Structure 1
Amino acid sequence: MRNKLFILISGIIIALLIVNQASATTIACTPKVKLVNQDPSQAIPGSYVKVLFEVSGLGTDCNGLTLKLNPEYPFSLDPGYDPVQTLTGSPDVQGYKNSWDVPYKIRVADDALAGEYTLKLLERIGSNKDFNSSYIENDFNLSITDVQTDFSTVVQGSSGTQVSIGIVNIGENVANSLIVSIPQQQNFAATGVDQQIVGNLASGDYTIVSFNIAAANLRNFNRTNTRNPSDAGSSQNFPTNESANNPQLLKIQLEYTDNIGKRRNVIKEVRYISSSQGNLTRSAINGSSRNGSSSSTSPGVWWYVGGIIILAIIIGVYSMYGERIKNHYKKKNNNDKNSGKTPDWVTAERTHHKR
């Protein structure tokens, strides 16, 4: 009787141990996945963001865990990373924490708008990489913040070679340490200062900067309106008066620091007609040259030369006929005086009657 009771009690104890062992195994194989880090903290359109997932709840009795990152717009996985990662065995640090770190590098689309977006991470128990049958989907929210800004540029006015450019910050963020410059380009070149420091330009604010702008392709022509031999292969055209009336694109570079401290460059273009472009062309053609003759002469020079010739003729005529003219007028004056004098016989008669 005692033996039967002992056997029964032993069987119950063994059964309880088996149930407890199975229960412990089931709890140990319940994984937990969470997003523990994002670098940078703000996802930015057109840039990369590194995310780090922490996986816990796996013990030595599990058959492993397989993860698959399933990004959707505006996210995409960096080509250097495998979307599927399998966790097997024990964690790296035994007895300290029962977790794995799983990193991914994600690119944010250039045209992504600011807001909250969902990043999907799929998981399944075991080492099978086939996610077509069954899996568990984990959704994580990532915030996208547009730290950049945009500008609108217009030609505010021009006088001679000086042009004033109006710049408006039409974005939602401040442009810190803004510098405006005229970069190297085909049609125009800045003479003198080619950069202007603006400072911080808040959203909705505007500023005006001024530069001295000249036609860049004047250097391809000499003073006689012919192309320099060294530039014979160039296809650049000389800016004649006709082309000066047509607007050309003037490039403007805007360099600023965004809200996360990154330096950014923006190139804008404005249509510009230089009021002095025709004068610059005419000066290059008609100006005096040490190496060659001028192709035309200013009207003021002709007036000056003509005046000298007329004055020389007057002096020559006077030197040749001056004495004759003087004698002629002297004789005439004497005749006029004699014609007005009282005759002698009249005077004699007057004297006789007085006696």
Structure 2
Amino acid sequence: MATVPAEAAAATPTIVVAVTGDDSAPGTLSRPLRTIQAAVDRAKPGDVIAVRGGTYAVDDNITISTSGTASQPISLGAYPGERVVVDGERLPAGHTPVGGSIPRAERGVIHQEASHWRVSDLELVNGPYGYYCDNCNDNVFARLVTRDNYESGFQLQGASGRNLVLDLDSHGNRDPRKNGESADGLAIKEGSGTGNVVRGARLWNNVDDGFDAWKFASPVLIENTVAYGNGFNRWNFPDFAGDGNGFKLGGGTPAPAVAHAVRDAIAFRNAAKGMTDNGNPGALALTRNTTYGNGGTGFDFDVPGSRAVLDGNLSVAERTPVAVAGSTVSRGNSWNLGGTWDAASVLSTDPAPLTGPRRSDGSLPSAPVFLVPRAGTPVGARV
């Protein structure tokens, strides 16, 4: 699996972009390029693209098709200490009418079909998907913000493996063309590839699900990740179709049997379920996770023939804490321990510390008492 990158511009940049630049310039710090696409087109293995602060409105999506190598990945990121926003509002595919489809090549403010990239510290907004990666391997996507897009904030699909999605914030994504049916915070779906890891993500207020693994046929590891407020019709869509799960761990007709693993994750106040197999009968492993105040079942793993193992999980203040099949292994969870698991049974139900600013390194803020059992019972996530 790829390692966590340093800041993209911590190394001496080989290509610099600035809103005041010129695409005929050499791309140096004193004479930068004007567009991120021009920098991407020039990049070769080992290059470091540093984007100066500002808003970059694009008329065509930024397309990454050249790969780095294992020893010389290509880096793309914000210049240290500067905020970079890439705005896809002018991309026509984001305004596809109800019932329409978005051609594959037009998906994403950034559209990538390449491997061995390190992309960090960019904010992608108002696009037909935020970041879209198809047939991508051995990449690291760190500290990205994907918000207010007209489809999923971040989507990885196709033959894609060994990618790390680190410290992603993805929120407010919606899909007017489908009335809320498919815009997730983070989707790793419709493909396969081993070694994909999601760590430290926050996925909130998206129209469909927080995380969606629909028809992805290889195991994904999710850890230290939070999904909340998903599945509500904040945009007043007619015929609303948002699902509203925190973590959807499968799906399809039939759903492939896949052993996704989720640990130290929290799903709270989603419109539907906190965490669900969504028909996936595979050997799912859920360890020390917490659900709280979701509109449906906290942990829903009741597909016939389920091989899921639920160990040390906590459900707080939900109408239905758990629904499991007879073949699901359930041990050491709050519902196995008995007792009342309501707001009074935990130190705090206030999510403010967890939803506030990230730490300086991009990791989740500390929330040492949020949904932690008052009695010190060793169940549930710790953030």
**TM, length-normalised to structure 1:** 0.19
Greater share of strand: 1
